[in-house]
Chain A
Amino acid sequence: MTATFAITRSAGRGVGRRAGLDRRQALQLLAAGAAAALASCGPPREQILPYAKAAEGEELTPGAVRRYATTLTLAGYGRGVVGRVVDGRPIKLEGNPAHPASLGGSDVFTEAAILDLYDPWRAQAAAGPAGVAAWSDFAEALGARLAGHEADHGAGLRLVTGRITGPSQLRLIKAIQARFPAMVWVRYEPLHDDAERQGTRLAYGRSLTPLPRFADADVILCLGADPLGPGPAQVAQARALIGRRRGGASMSRLYVAEPSLTLTGVAADHRRAAGPLVTRAIALELARRLGAPAQPGEASAETLAFAGAVADDLIAHKGRALVLVGPGQSAQMHALAAWTNHALAAPVDVIEPIDPHPDDHADSLARLDRDLAEGAVTSLIVLGANPVHDAPDGAVMARAIGRLPFSAALGLYDDETAGACRWRAPLSHALETWSDAVSPDGTASLAQPLIRPLYDSRGAEQALALMAGQPASDARDLVRATWQAGAAGDFEAEWRQALVAGVLTRGGAAKAAAPAPRWVDLAPIARSPLILSLTPSASLWDGRYAANAWLQECPDPLTKEVWGRSLRLAPGDARTFGIAEGDRVRLSLGDRSCEAVAAIVASQAPGIATLPLGGGRTRAGPIGSGLGGNPAPLRGRDLRFSLEDMRLERLGPGKDPPVTQNANRLDGDTGQLLPTMTLAALAAHAKPADDEAPPSLLTTPPRGEHAWAMVIDAAACIGCNACIVACQAENNIPVIGPEEIAVGRDMHWLRVDRYDQGPATAPDAGFLPIPCMQCEHAPCEPVCPVEASVHDGEGLNDQVYNRCVGTRFCQANCPYKVRRFNYRDYAAGAPWGDLDVTALKAQRNPEVSVRGRGVMEKCTYCVQRIAAGRAESARTGQPIADGAVKTACQVACPTEAISFGDLQDGGAQVAALRRDPRHYVLLNELGTRPRTTYLARVRNPNPALGSQA
């Protein structure tokens, strides 16, 4: 106080004498500064902001996790989700156990959806010809434009959407069609099911949807089909298929013939790298032996022998044998599969299509293309689709859209199509609005908001209601009106029950009374020097998730590539075209082309190159733009998945996308890391490896009240990566970017390793998820100079971030390489960090520390969930029951491959699994006594095929 006064006086005296400070003033200022610093030491105090009015009917416990059931869509199909909400913020999504399309498990897209909600790159405001506008301005412009269309009954109006299964949206589209009878509704998905629609039309006379029942199938043949791969039905199919592939007498047998290794191919007992000719020959051989009037396909004797053995096995299991054909196969192949499954009395249900749009996807899109070219369109409204990126004529379409008097794109992002349109308006995220959807198996469920819209946005239902002439509708009322219409009995009770449980008991798809399928012969296939096969990206789907940094950094299950995907080529083809690993290449067909980086993959079928969709986004924000090439222009009007007569030329040296797991051939070692047992060996009670800990001079700390342990079933792991992204969401794991991964850094606490055995051309591949082993004799602990790596009484290997000084000795000494070092303040200040964007911080789990630079971090067995279990046990006085504490990876796993529990509880599932004959310890010879252990893979090979894989 005195000092301040003195300055005032002194400064007053100095006025007019000379500018600047004299010595006396400088000293006074210094003293004043020092005094001020001492008086106000310490950070400013925090505020506590309680509610003014308590929420009605809900008792909100601060910091407590509340769970709400809702629905997310993938390619239009619904999957049941439970959102964990803390203090009004959704922070984590999990599968809904009551929903048949998720059964409690999830996939990478579900897990990563929470990041989209908080993505600062999301479209946050509408924009029109005059620049940024309010949603109401857009609504007004749209309303005025549509009023003008009443005169021509909407003849010049086009509505473009993706697949829509939600009864509310379908009801509103019907209302729009009633208002504008001449309007055309264009519906397409880049990853469509046209072949299946056409194939069932050939076989049954109308489009139907076959639903395989994997739980009832003893022998399964997949021809280019990937039921375990990414897609809306992945979780349910994987649960059912893998449920019968974990050993035991009921284990099914899986044959796969496919051009490029897929997750199903990895899980198969017998896999053939097969192009269309081989696939066709196998299908025809099977049909022929079932009595079809089919000519055998041209194939080598070896292929025919394989096809014969497979056909015998399938026919021997009539009634419990199943043939699946993938979306990339021809319509005739689908028709043939329908006939074959009928002949085999296969466990397949046939339902009416869930997607009611009468047109095939490619036809619908081609019609829009034609109408745009002919000038038949005057107003275009795109809702949640991105044709400028993923239609074959995207660039032409963008120019045509630019010439339209009115065009509007409504979506979550300001994407390529939004860039071409006059108006763009943000749609609410699925967690912000009311909606409904139907899952691939026909179960309807409601979506309810977990948070109010963060920005000035509307739900898709509200946008459609606006078009139907019902402006200012509330999304909840729109969804309620749909379901109230068909309600029998007490609607309020049904509505409430549907919101609590997350599933509706009506509104699903009806089982179809399918006629006996007709026999359709396969047209001969011309030989083609190179076929390009387009597949879904396991992380980006068709590219719509390109702006999601978690998904970009989620490694491809098979190639382990992140931030981009390469073109997979067989070694023979690479030689033919003069291409080396990492070369930049151009794929061209006619006058269209696409650039890519080549990777040489020995397991690839010769004559076929594979490229996942999802690359080449140009308007996907700083995360997703400019990664890879866009193959959409090559696909042609049929939106083909398989493109014959591709030209391939080398452009020059390039660089493959960075990988998270380097490939080294270690002869013999992979058999110890990932042992494989045959069903016969398992029946003889053989053990894959000695799982007794070797003798040690170290003292083992006594077990406390709990001894947490994890057992991972390698036979059940399909490599889908859901656990990786779940761990990332739960534990605030930052994204580090391609540059860091390229220099060998990785931040995922849980990784999924791929280990191959056998010849590289026909690898017996397998996946091994590797979290921290929580060793009882942990090599990381004695080397830490500051005791930042310490053991706790429940067997957890704690990492104390505040003690860590970053020597990285622990990382060097960890034989499992599960410790991750934060080199660059990845969470905040690094180029891929949150850079102080408030929205991103809202996603963070408040129960987990956000780690700073220079600190080692690693898997904690989700210690925050263990703590929550302990707290619950303290409050209720009940001991922690087995299964009450579940780690994030365990919950996410679609096949329930991960078990977690307390070894001190003799009845715990983990304790039982540790006695399983398949139990083994990773690197047991090191004597680390890990708490994370594994169950060996099981194979059920066909004895008739001998030792062939």
Chain B
Amino acid sequence: MVVRVVLVAIVVTPFLIVGGLYVWSGSAYHTRAGETVEQPVPFSHAHHVGELGLDCRFCHASVETGRFAGMPATQVCMTCHSQVWTNAAMLAPVRDSLARDRPIAWVRVNNLPDYVYFDHSVHVAKGVPCQACHGEVADMPLTRQAAPLTMGWCLDCHRDPGPHLRPRAAEFDTTWTDIGDPAKRGAALIAAYHVKTAGLTDCSTCHR
């Protein structure tokens, strides 16, 4: 009996280990999806975007022109906060940053490995809305990573981008609601924005 168990275990255990690692690598434990991150200033997208209705591009100014969406300079925060909540204790690091000309050390929430060369501007130009990757940021009191950001997850969209696309005019609209047939709209947008579906899964699209 013991011998049989051992023999079976010899065969099964490697599969269990590899399978276990595979499941673990895609799990939120590993991808950190959904983890809320502590920041030097507890910035709330729910308040600024959801309630006040600030446009994403007000702070993430280079999202349409560069690889990185960009983080706002402290001056941008102070555009409003020199007028409102000027003495709030919560904003002391912001005032301190401007006074001493030292950056605020934000903690990165959405991180891609260094061998991935993601370009925000291309995705925005092709009709991929912020929500496709960043989730419902307008509902997040503290920002968290919405998607697993694994290669498999990227490829899900790169193999079939259509359903994820939106008209460019609605990309930054956090209240946009999906009407009509996503497949039909996707096909139309792929044609309109010249999305090159053939090369989207080439290694060189994201890796160099």
Please list the residues of chain A having a beta carbon within 8 angstroms of any beta carbon in chain B.
41-42, 45-54, 61-64, 704-705, 790, 792-794, 796, 798, 800-802, 847-849, 860, 863-864, 866-867, 870-871, 874-875, 877
Contacts of B110-146 to chain A: CB distance below 8 A: 111, 114-115, 117, 119, 121-122, 125-126
**Cβ B70 vs Cβ A867 within 8 A:** no
Interface of B is mostly: loop
**Cβ A874 vs Cβ B73 within 8 A:** no
**Cβ B204 vs Cβ A802 within 8 A:** no
Interface of A is mostly: loop
**Cβ B64 vs Cβ A875 within 8 A:** yes
Given A51-B103, A874-B122, A875-B122, also A792-B70 (CB < 8 A)? no
> B44-52, B82-90, B191-199: which one contacts chain A?
B191-199
Q: Is B80 an interface residue (CB 8 A)?
A: no
* Chain B contacts for A792, CB-based, 8 A: 199, 202-205
Q: How far is the CB of A54 from chain B (nearest CB, A)?
A: 4
**Cβ A793 vs Cβ B75 within 8 A:** no
Q: How far is the CB of B85 from chain A (nearest CB, A)?
A: 19
* Chain B contacts for A790, CB-based, 8 A: 203
Q: Which 3 A-B pairs have the closest CB atoms?
A: A792-B202, A50-B71, A49-B103
* Chain A contacts for B108, CB-based, 8 A: 45-48
**Cβ A54 vs Cβ B75 within 8 A:** yes
A430 to B64, CA, bound (A): 35
Contacts of B127-185 to chain A: CB distance below 8 A: none
> B1-9, B10-18, B94-102: which one contacts chain A?
B94-102
**Cβ B101 vs Cβ A53 within 8 A:** yes
A877 to B119, CA, bound (A): 16
**Cβ B65 vs Cβ A64 within 8 A:** yes
Q: Can you give 8 A-B contacts (C-beta < 8 A)?
A: A50-B71, A51-B74, A52-B75, A52-B103, A54-B76, A866-B204, A870-B122, A875-B122
From A50, A792, A801, residue with most partner B Cβ within 10 Å: A50
A46 to B205, CA, bound (A): 25
**Cβ B117 vs Cβ A50 within 8 A:** no
Q: Which chain B residue shows the least CB distance to A860?
A: B208
Contact of A801 among B37, B102, B115, B117 (CB under 8 A): B115
A849 to B198, CA, bound (A): 25
Given pairs A798-B204, A871-B67, A874-B125, 11 additional interface contacts (CB within 8 A): A46-B108, A47-B105, A52-B73, A52-B104, A54-B76, A64-B67, A704-B199, A792-B203, A798-B202, A802-B207, A867-B119
**Cβ B203 vs Cβ A798 within 8 A:** yes
A53 to B100, CA, bound (A): 10
A61 to B125, CA, bound (A): 17
Given A51-B74, A802-B207, also A704-B105 (CB < 8 A)? no
Q: Which chain A residue shows the least CB distance to B119?
A: A871
**Cβ B199 vs Cβ A51 within 8 A:** no
Q: How far is the CB of B93 from chain A (nearest CB, A)?
A: 11
**Cβ B121 vs Cβ A871 within 8 A:** yes
Given A42-B32, A63-B67, also A877-B194 (CB < 8 A)? yes
Q: How far is the CB of B157 from chain A (nearest CB, A)?
A: 16
Q: How far is the CB of A476 from chain B (nearest CB, A)?
A: 22
Q: Which chain A residue shows the least CB distance to B98?
A: A52
Q: How far is the CB of B204 from chain A (nearest CB, A)?
A: 5
A853 to B202, CA, bound (A): 24
**Cβ A52 vs Cβ B115 within 8 A:** no
A790 to B71, CA, bound (A): 36
A871 to B68, CA, bound (A): 12
Q: Which chain A residue shows the least CB distance to B76?
A: A54
A790 to B201, CA, bound (A): 12
Q: How far is the CB of B17 from chain A (nearest CB, A)?
A: 17
Contact of A42 among B30, B73, B126 (CB under 8 A): B30
Q: Is B19 an interface residue (CB 8 A)?
A: no
**Cβ A45 vs Cβ B208 within 8 A:** no
Contact of B74 among A47, A50, A864, A871 (CB under 8 A): A50
**Cβ B199 vs Cβ A50 within 8 A:** no
A610 to B74, CA, bound (A): 62
Given A62-B62, A792-B203, also A50-B106 (CB < 8 A)? yes
A848 to B207, CA, bound (A): 9
Contact of B117 among A704, A798, A800, A847 (CB under 8 A): A847
* Chain B contacts for A874, CB-based, 8 A: 121-122, 125-126
**Cβ B121 vs Cβ A62 within 8 A:** no
**Cβ A864 vs Cβ B106 within 8 A:** no
Q: Which chain B residue shows the least CB distance to A861?
A: B204
Q: Is B22 an interface residue (CB 8 A)?
A: no
A871 to B207, CA, bound (A): 14
**Cβ B204 vs Cβ A50 within 8 A:** no
Given A61-B62, A62-B62, A705-B198, also A52-B122 (CB < 8 A)? no
**Cβ A849 vs Cβ B208 within 8 A:** yes
Contact of B208 among A46, A867, A875 (CB under 8 A): A867
Q: Is B58 an interface residue (CB 8 A)?
A: no
From A52, A62, A847, residue with most partner B Cβ within 10 Å: A52
* Chain B contacts for A45, CB-based, 8 A: 37, 107-109, 111
A380 to B108, CA, bound (A): 55
* Chain A contacts for B100, CB-based, 8 A: 52
* Chain A contacts for B66, CB-based, 8 A: 61-64
**Cβ B198 vs Cβ A50 within 8 A:** no
Q: How far is the CB of A369 from chain B (nearest CB, A)?
A: 52
Given A871-B122, A877-B194, also A49-B105 (CB < 8 A)? yes
A64 to B120, CA, bound (A): 12
**Cβ A863 vs Cβ B204 within 8 A:** yes
Given A50-B74, A62-B70, A704-B198, also A800-B104 (CB < 8 A)? no
A673 to B73, CA, bound (A): 57
* Chain B contacts for A61, CB-based, 8 A: 62, 65-66, 68, 70
Q: Is B72 an interface residue (CB 8 A)?
A: yes
